[in-house]
Chains A and B, each alone.
Chain A
Amino acid sequence: MAVTQVFGARVRRREDPRLIRGTATYTDDLALPGLCYAAFVRSPHAHARIKRVDASRARSAPGVLGVFTAQDLEGKVNAIPCGWQVPNCDLKTPPHPALAKDKVRYVGDAVAVVVAETRAQAHDAASLVEVEYEVLPAVVDMEEALRSPTLVHEDVPNNRVLLWSVKGGDFDAALRDPGVRVVRQRLVNQRLIPNAMETRAATAQYNPGSGELTLWVTSQNPHIARVILSGVLGFPEHKLRVVAPEVGGGFGSKIPVYPEEAVVAHLATRLGRPVKWSESRRENYLATIHGRDHVTEAELAVRSDGAVLGVRVRTLANFGAYLSTAAPAIPTILYGLVLSGPYRIPNIDCEVTGVFTNTTPTDAYRGAGRPEATYVLERMMDLAARELGMDPAEIRRKNLIPRDQFPYTVATGITYDSGDYARALDRALELVEYSKFRAEQAAARQQGRYLGIGLSTYVEICGAGPSKVVGSTGFAGGLWESAVVRFSPTGKVTVLTGTSPHGQGEETTFAQIVSQELGVPLDDVEVLHGDTDSILMGWGTYGSRTTPVGGTAVYLAAQKVKEKAQRIAAHQLEVSAEDLVFENGRFHVRGAPERGMTIQEVALQAYLAWNLPEGMEPGLEGQANWDPSNFVFPFGTHACVVEVDPETGQVKILRYVAVDDCGRVINPLIVDGQVHGGIVQGVAQALWEFAQYDQAGNLLTGSMAEYAVPKAAWLPWFECDRTETPTPVNPLGVKGVGETGTIAATPCVVNAVMDALSPFGIRHVDMPLLPERVWRAIQQAKGGAV
């Protein structure tokens, strides 16, 4: 047992010195001898036939090394596969060619690529590539796409990607319950654009001598990229190295394997020179995945006492023009299976129709499916409370799963690990001074001021996950995680993890785990990630899995090191291993603390190998692969107080309280940061952000000047607190925390605004709650002209 308490301490991040000194190396920062630059020629049309591509002017432009189209890549760069083919839903998987071949299917679809000596020359020449298009009608709206004769893919009738359902209990039977009331609402969960501050980039270098191809890429999961790209390129996996260097945020948008990465890797082998491509922000808006984009008809069956009997949803989910890597899982298993939220709901009936449209492909965006489910459920709970004349806190409390019922299996079939949901609700109500607020609200209304309070009680499924479970859902991989903990002879520790953090701080939290377990100073631990050459295997950082899955692997690897070290120490101290006590990084003989050696001294002995137990291999290293038995389920309650200006429709957040439970906390400072950032992305969906296409499929919110990435001045101060309910799923007791804020915040803010607007009789306004929308709703409610 180590005495120093590193686990749970507010340790400053170990990745920060390089980031604050400007010495970190992001993909676009790489400088290689002979580097040349790629630029893609993209379709200005949402849907068109490619009649002719004339690259002759581009080819003769200054500095140009080559111009390549789909024909040039034939047989060399295969179609980009979908990595999560959800079964039993009639999933259509039309090919996604790296460069558009006969047809372009969204504005931004890549048609050709130019490589030149400099970045500017590549862009200049790209503008000289002449593409003749026959413009086709585009389908943008999902409901229209399902009826339209216009097909995004000729072999996908009705543009229907999939029809997926999950049923638990019997919703129709619930409707026959005497005294049941059914609350209905259509809910739009608008399309969002992830906007990681670093856009995507890829740099590839081929070594003809060794036959090794190295790709540095902005990826959340370099090992997955390597597996997929080795297939796409027909390149032997052991000769392909994928490195995710410093990565500037992802939020899901850097999970997919994208066409540009395959093309750049191929071009490096073809040209025999290193090739770099960096996405402009404009390209990022068009060619990097978007998120959300659901339209849902929801019904909630509730008794007059507030007991929820059932939920039925019919959801349309927009997939855009192609199936992105994980896309089929997002609006299906990551959405439908969590529709019970933190509540006991005996009857759940969910049907999801996926739709192809002539828009940018969608995939995972922070929360990925779970924010959409939570939004539906938490809005419906508020609407039910309103209809029954119940307090929104009370209807929630009545339906929460009690803490003595865990593990608890919900109607959709998944089993929640641990929780004390009512405690988090109570704590949030206490912090936000709920009862006092209600009195203030009533008084404010007398003065013509419209205050509102919103609640969101949520549970998240994360920490994916048991490999056989995700395998049964069509994921073409495992979701276990690997770790190595390796002592060097001088007692320093290197940790290798298969996760690939890109801002989440696991270089620090994992070092805390190791420091705690091995009793070595934090500064003696280095955590490495993101390189397929040095790391056995890994499935990456997303879905709030890094700490619960990757961290557990690190913990288990450290245990193996400790066990071996103990055997060496026992041998050298001439006692049996059971007679040793491990304290503060030092083994000593029980009852004789002066007889001992530190684990760092043991490390030297392990490498010298002069005096090891009979048959023991030299060296001191532990390797562990951890495949969890279940997901983990963080939960909590958020509460938000807003004021709406009825003259302008402007919403102002006055207070925001978050009570989250992510199990045991390794580093509170980092957890706070994750929660803050998550909340802002959720608040931004509620109030500001939306991707808008016109009917021809042009993205109208196609730059940071048009899309509302939130600024510091728009945001309130967040009051964060936690409860701590460890999970039994892993030995650390930890759950994920990267997405909780985003999941909770969106319905919390919308509920608050609807509460503020309740005196007008307004039930619902779709997001984002821009001043204009709120003002119109007020005018309509007043019966005025809009």
Chain B
Amino acid sequence: MTVNGVQYTREVEPRTLLVYFLREHLGLTGTHVGCDTSSCGACTVLLDGKAVKSCTVLAVQAEGAHITTVEGLAKDGELHPVQQAFWDEHGLQCGFCTPGMMLAAVDLLQRNPNPTDEEIRHALEGNLCRCTGYQHIVNAVKAAARLMGAAVGAPAGGA
């Protein structure tokens, strides 16, 4: 599979979950494990561009797929607008849910470049944060929408 633009070929046990493949086989520990019931979303990555919980995907199911993890968000050292916005808006505290939260936000903004508060809160329902109370996360996603909108020259900005 291709992870953050790099192609990897590995032999794994069939039961290996994608999240453990990323963490333990490739050393990409930015993707976290927060539960064992697919509830928390800390392990969210993009699989062929769509957000998935990597604890619910077997590594072998991702054979040939393109995966983006938090380590692949920044390009040439430049933060992705979602990363920038989470920083600017204090969208994180302990940081443990943050990689998954940001990737869920990237997925949302790809589908809906100008989401309302309600749409943002709904889109993040699969990602739990115990620190922030979500308000600054919602602000961050709106700020990211503005940054990304500005980047493509389109009007953007949440309600």
Q: Give the interface of A toward B (CB within 8 A).
A: 12-13, 15-17, 19-26, 28-29, 31, 119-120, 195-199, 246-249, 251, 278, 280-282, 502-505, 669-670, 672-673, 676-681, 703-705, 709, 711-713, 715, 717-718, 741
B18 interface hit (Cβ, 8 Å): no
B87→A17 contact, CB < 8 A: yes
The 5 A-B residue pairs whose C-beta atoms are closest, nearest first, are A22-B30, A248-B96, A503-B94, A19-B95, A676-B133
Q: Which residues of B contact A711 (CB under 8 A)?
A: 121, 124-125, 128
- Given contacts A25-B29, A718-B135, A197 and B129 within 8 Å (CB-CB): yes
Task: Name the residue of chain A whose CB is nearest to the CB of B117.
Answer: A717
Q: Which residues of B contact A280 (CB under 8 A)?
A: 36
- Given contacts A281-B37, A503-B94, A195 and B130 within 8 Å (CB-CB): yes
B52 CB to closest chain A CB, in angstroms? 17
A19→B98 contact, CB < 8 A: yes
Sample 16 A-B pairs with CB under 8 A, ordered by A number: A12-B90, A16-B95, A21-B74, A21-B79, A26-B29, A197-B130, A198-B32, A198-B34, A198-B96, A249-B94, A249-B131, A680-B133, A704-B40, A712-B138, A713-B118, A713-B121
B124→A712 contact, CB < 8 A: yes
B37 CB to closest chain A CB, in angstroms? 4
A604 CB to closest chain B CB, in angstroms? 31
Binds A, one of B20-28, B56-64, B145-153: B20-28
Q: Give the interface of B toward A (CB within 8 A).
A: 13, 15, 20, 23-24, 27-37, 39-40, 42, 69-71, 73-74, 79, 83, 86-88, 90, 92-99, 102, 117-118, 120-122, 124-125, 127-138
Which of B73, B97, B98, B120 is packed against the most chain A CB atoms within 10 Å? B98
Q: Which residues of B contact A25 (CB under 8 A)?
A: 29
B8 CB to closest chain A CB, in angstroms? 17
B130→A251 contact, CB < 8 A: yes
Name the contact of A505 in the complex, choosing from B13, B83, B93, B135 (C-beta under 8 A): B93
B134 CB to closest chain A CB, in angstroms? 4
Task: Name the residue of chain A whose CB is nearest to the CB of B20.
Answer: A119
Q: Which residues of A contact B93 (CB under 8 A)?
A: 249, 503-505, 673, 677
B70→A21 contact, CB < 8 A: yes
B108 CB to closest chain A CB, in angstroms? 11
* Complex CA distance for A281 and B127, rounded to whole angstroms: 15
B33 CB to closest chain A CB, in angstroms? 7
Task: Name the residue of chain A whose CB is nearest to the CB of B95.
Answer: A19
Q: Which residues of A contact B86 (CB under 8 A)?
A: 16, 20
* Complex CA distance for A571 and B30, rounded to whole angstroms: 51
Known: A22-B28, A119-B24, A249-B130. 9 other contacts (CB 8 A): A15-B95, A16-B87, A20-B98, A24-B30, A26-B32, A28-B33, A197-B96, A712-B120, A715-B133
Q: Which residues of B contact A198 (CB under 8 A)?
A: 32, 34, 94, 96
Task: Name the residue of chain A whose CB is nearest to the CB of B23.
Answer: A29
Name the contact of B37 in the complex, choosing from A13, A31, A703 (C-beta under 8 A): A703
Q: Which residues of A contact B92 (CB under 8 A)?
A: 13, 16, 19-20
B133→A718 contact, CB < 8 A: yes
B27 CB to closest chain A CB, in angstroms? 7
Task: Name the residue of chain A whose CB is nearest to the CB of B96.
Answer: A248
A501 CB to closest chain B CB, in angstroms? 9
B66 CB to closest chain A CB, in angstroms? 17
* Complex CA distance for A365 and B3, rounded to whole angstroms: 39
Name the contact of B132 in the complex, choosing from A16, A17, A677 (C-beta under 8 A): A677
Q: Which residues of B contact A713 (CB under 8 A)?
A: 118, 121-122, 124-125
* Complex CA distance for A703 and B36, rounded to whole angstroms: 8
* Complex CA distance for A20 and B36, rounded to whole angstroms: 23
Name the contact of B13 in the complex, choosing from A120, A251, A669, A703 (C-beta under 8 A): A120
A249 CB to closest chain B CB, in angstroms? 4
* Complex CA distance for A503 and B136, rounded to whole angstroms: 14
A18 CB to closest chain B CB, in angstroms? 8
Q: Which residues of B contact A199 (CB under 8 A)?
A: 34
